[in-house]
Amino acid sequence: MSKSLQAIRGMNDILPEQTPLWRYFEGSVARLLDNYGYKQIRMPIVEFTELFKRSIGEVTDIVEKEMYTFEDRNGDSLTLRPEGTAACVRAVLEHGITGGGQVQKLWYIGPMFRHERPQKGRYRQFHQIGLEVFNLDGPDIDAELIIMTWRLWGELGIRDAVKLELNSLGTSESRGRYREALVEYLSAHHDKLDEDSQRRLKTNPLRVLDTKNADTQAVLVDAPKMADYLDDESRAHFEGLKARLDAVGIPYVLNPKLVRGLDYYSKTVFEWVTDKLGAQGTVCAGGRYDGLVEQMGGKPTPGVGFAMGIERLVLMLETLEQIPQEISRQVDVYLCAFGEEAELAGLALAERVRDELPNLRLQVNAGAGSFKSQFKKADKSGALYALILGDDEMAQQVVGFKPLRGQGEQQSIAWDALAAHLATCVVQG
Ligand code: ATP
Ligand code: MG
């Protein structure tokens, strides 16, 4: 196949053999969020470039080098969304649904786009489930976000493989004072910093804390600590969060170097990290952004949220072999019919059964075929049972009911009794 007809590097097809696990994961999250009272919002995938510059920050990695930006036919600069928070804030402002202090607890799911170097767990089109809460400023809601994810890891069977890292960035005032102290310290060690960090020192000094460079990390050992610069309010907020996590029994480690890649965070920041995926270890990340809505032209509105990377979490389920058995089977019952008359009767019978058992996964053979070939297809479908309609069954108005996995002889079931019989042998999801 010629290169220009292939998928773009870092943008993946999710093939039919993979989608059951994706749907299981997405369904688990959706159910959890429903149960906690969160509502789904759906935003466009493309926004004006300005939106991301303004919210994420001009000197972040995302805006500096990762965005898919293009001019449309009107000459407007548009960008494929690299994350969801900016568009979510735009949407709530545009529709006035956070006005007058209205609390909104929202979530979204969908593809995000960043021009990064593709590797395991890092792609150019990837998928996130994100969540944003507006107009609640206490540590209780920060805690709820973390508690929900903790429950999710438990339900998915990956709780032992993830670790919660926490930090507080303080208010913008305390962060400002800290930034000054950090810049002063790092400037005194300028020559020992890697090139990237030297640049960041001028543009976005807090991001130096996030460096992977060993020499710079050595310099950072004695750097001023954010915790020493926290204002009383941020400190109380952080203590409130920790007390709630302790009350529920959620372990965490404090990571003073956790700053997050986006500019808009304040107070709480957190990441769920794993050592099961190699270098791309963060599976869910978020924090509080009390200044963002105002920065984007709204009234001061506290906000807090997170986003999880679906690819990384699906990879984790695979790596840890936490794949529920039920999801690999997509067919309960496979109906084989031999001859035109049987085929017509089979179609009608299948619809009757579906009327009565709307959750039954019933597949009707298509493309006719010999006894042998239809049986082979029934077996390959993964179905638990085959239903057989041949001349004999037609004459007696019955259907052959044959277990395909494990024991049990073939039996004949009257057409009228079929749905009731199936209801007793197939556990329906
Ligand atoms: P990283 O440090 O891994 O680049 P990030 O801080 O840029 O992550 P966020 O913007 O916080 O990531 O996005 C939230 C989550 O989305 C991440 O924790 C990760 O699970 C996922 N994610 C981010 N970028 C990618 C990507 N390029 N490919 C796959 N998943 C990603
Ligand atoms: Mg990144």
Residue 365: what residue type? N
Cα(115) to centroid of ligand 2, in Å? Answer: 10
Taking CB atoms and a 6 Å cutoff, what residues make up the pocket around ligand 1? 83, 114, 116, 121-123, 126, 128, 261, 280, 282-285, 307-309, 311-312
Pocket test for ligand 1, best of 14, 85, 128 (most atoms within 8 A of CB): 128
pLDDT at 428: 56
Burial of 288 (0-12, 13-18, 19+ CB in 10 A): buried
Neighbouring residues of 208: CB distance < 8 A, sequence distance ≥ 6: 182, 186, 193, 197, 200, 201, 216, 220
For ligand 1, pick from 282, 310, 311 the residue to mutate: most ligand atoms within 8 Å of CB: 282
Query: Boundaries of CATH 3.30.930.10 in the chain?
Result: 19-171+231-319
How far is ligand 2, taken at its centre, from the CA of residue 261, in Å?
Answer: 7
Q: Range(s) for CATH 3.40.50.800 in the chain? A: 329-428
CATH entry, 329-428, from 1.10.274.10, 3.40.50.1390, 3.40.50.800, 1.20.1080.10: 3.40.50.800
pLDDT at residue 90 in the model:
98
Q: What is the atom index within ligand 1 of the atom nearest the CA of 271?
A: 18
- Judged by DSSP in three states, 18 sits in coil
For 87-104, what is each residue's pLDDT tens digit?
A: 999 999 999 999 999 999
295-320 core/surface letters (b: 16 or more CB in 10 A; e: else): bbebeebbbbbbbbbbbbbbbbbeee
Ligand with the closest atom to the CA of 11:
1
Instruction: Tell me the CA–centroid distance for residue 129 and ligand 1, in Å.
Output: 11
| SS3 call for 385 | strand
Instruction: Say whether domain 19-171+231-319 belongs to CATH 3.30.930.10.
Output: yes
Nearest CA to ligand 1 atom 11: 285
Nearest-atom index, ligand 1, CA of 83: 10
| Residue 48: C-alpha distances to residues 45, 59, 82, 164, 362 (Å) | 10, 18, 12, 34, 46
- Ligand 1 atom at shortest distance from the alpha carbon of 82: 10
- pLDDT by residue, tens only, the chain of 429 residues: 888 899 999 999 999 999 999 999 999 999 999 999 999 999 999 999 999 999 988 888 899 899 999 999 999 999 999 999 999 999 999 999 999 999 999 999 999 999 999 999 999 999 999 999 999 999 999 999 999 999 999 999 999 999 999 999 998 888 889 999 999 999 999 999 999 899 989 888 888 998 889 999 999 999 999 889 999 999 999 999 999 999 999 999 999 889 876 667 889 999 999 999 998 899 999 999 999 999 999 999 999 999 999 999 999 999 999 999 888 788 999 999 999 999 999 999 999 999 999 999 999 999 989 999 999 999 999 999 999 999 999 999 999 999 998 778 999 999 999 999 999 988 654
**Two tokens, residue 337:** 């019919």
If phi over 0 gives left and psi between -120 and 50 gives alpha, with beta otherwise, what is residue 110? left
Q: How far is the CA of 335 from the centre of ligand 1 (A)?
A: 45
User: How many angstroms does the Cα of residue 122 sit away from the middle of ligand 2?
Assistant: 9
Query: Identity (one letter) of the amino acid at 363?
Result: Q
- What is the DSSP code string of 302-370? -EEEEEEEHHHHHHHHHHTT---GGGG---SEEEEE-SHHHHHHHHHHHHHHHHH-TT--EEE--S---
Cα separations in angstroms, 64 against 9, 52, 56, 115, 200? 20, 11, 10, 11, 12
pTM over 0.85: yes
- Ligand 1, atom 19, residue with closest C-alpha: 309
Cβ contacts of 403 within 8 Å, gap of 6 or more: 384, 385, 410
What does the pLDDT look like over 274-302, one tens digit per residue? 999 998 899 999 999 999 999 999 999 99
| 253 in Cβ contact with 74 (< 8 Å) | no
| Nearest alpha carbon to residue 284 among 273, 295, 298, 299 | 273
**Cα 260 to chain centroid, rounded:** 18
Q: Whose CA is nearest to atom 8 of ligand 1?
A: 282
Tokens in use for 411? Answer: 């039996």
Instruction: Give the ligand 1 atom nearest the CA of 284.
Output: 18
pLDDT score of 203: 86
| Length reported for the chain | 429
Ligand 1 atom having least distance to the Cα of 312: 20
Q: Which ligand is nearest to the CA of 263?
A: 1
The pLDDT value recorded for residue 34 is: 97
pLDDT for residue 159:
97
Q: Which ligand is nearest to the CA of 83?
A: 1
Digit-coded pLDDT (tens) for 184-221: 999 999 999 999 899 989 888 888 998 889 999 999 99
